[in-house]
Amino acid sequence: QVQLVQSGSELKKPGASVKVSCKASGYTFTRYAMNWVRQAPGQGLEWMGWIDTNTGNPTYAQGFTGRFVFSLDTSVSTAYLQISSLKAEDTAVYYCGRGDRTGYYDYWGQGTLVTVSS
Amino acid sequence: EIVLTQSPGTLSLSPGERATLSCRASQSVSSNYLAWYQQKRGQAPRLLIYGASSRATGIPDRFSGSGSGTDFTLTISRLEPEDFAVYYCQQYGSSPETFGQGTKVEIK
């Protein structure tokens, strides 16, 4: 069965970096896009962008350029989200979501809580 | 950017009642590429409906989606205890993809 398993919660200080992983299983990794979605505490869902798992080409939503990097390791069917120069406002749950060819997310990771606090 | 406005913000209903959730887009959603997700507290979202009206695998038939263009509706015909949650619509027809702000369905 399809599964997306994300790495565990992180507590980071402002200015540090964090790398969140999303390991896929149960399907051919390179046949589906991988999306990233942010959910700040008590807030709604915010699309961060996506990465083409076939080419490695990332697309970032406005507001997620510069400090945010999507990457892949196709040898282990894993997508990564790296955030640098962390700020308190980056505190959120980050989700990966498998993108169907038309764009909806049919499977989601369980989410990774990133807390930024001094 | 297409803005999705969901209403009402909160819906207070009893088990067995019918729930009607609205999602209105600021411009027409291309190819009716509109999805609905359910999110329970502390859990990841779950896909319910895609393409405005197609139920995802394993979703009970009490959930149905309808609409086109700028006006979409998610209907839960008879609320079960496990249906009390937050529901989000998403348009994926044009970039950037956008989500509505959510409708909370709570027990009355």
Query: A98 by DSSP, 3-state: which?
Result: strand
Separation in Å, CA B70 to CA A63, A102, B73: 26, 19, 10
Q: Which residues on A lie below 8 Å from B97 (Cβ)?
A: 35, 47, 61, 103
Please write the tens of the pLDDT for every residue from B50-105.
999 999 999 999 999 999 999 999 999 999 999 999 999 999 999 999 999 999 99
Rounded CA separation A51/A102 (Å)? 14
Q: What is the pLDDT of residue B76?
A: 98
Please write the tens of the pLDDT for every residue from B39-55.
999 999 999 999 999 99
For B15, residues 6+ apart whose C-beta sits below 8 A from its C-beta are B79, B80, B81, B107
Rounded CA separation B66/A34 (Å)? 27
Separation in Å, CA B86 to CA A11, A85, B100, B102: 27, 32, 11, 6
Rounded CA separation B91/B51 (Å)? 9
CB contact under 8 A, A105 and B88: no
Q: What is the pLDDT of residue A103?
A: 86
**A61 in reach of chain B (CB within 8 A):** yes
Mutate to test the interface with A, among B1, B29, B47 (most CBs of A within 10 A): B47
Query: Chain B residues within 8 A (CB-CB) of chain A?
Result: 31, 33, 35, 37, 39, 43-47, 50-51, 56-57, 88, 90, 92-93, 95-102
Mutate to test the interface with A, among B32, B92, B103, B104 (most CBs of A within 10 A): B92
Measured in angstroms, the CA of B15 and the nearest CA of chain A are apart by 25
CB contact under 8 A, B35 and A105: yes
Please write the tens of the pLDDT for every residue from A56-91.
999 999 999 999 999 999 999 999 999 999 999 999
Evaluate whether B38 touches B23 at the Cβ level (below 8 Å).
Answer: no
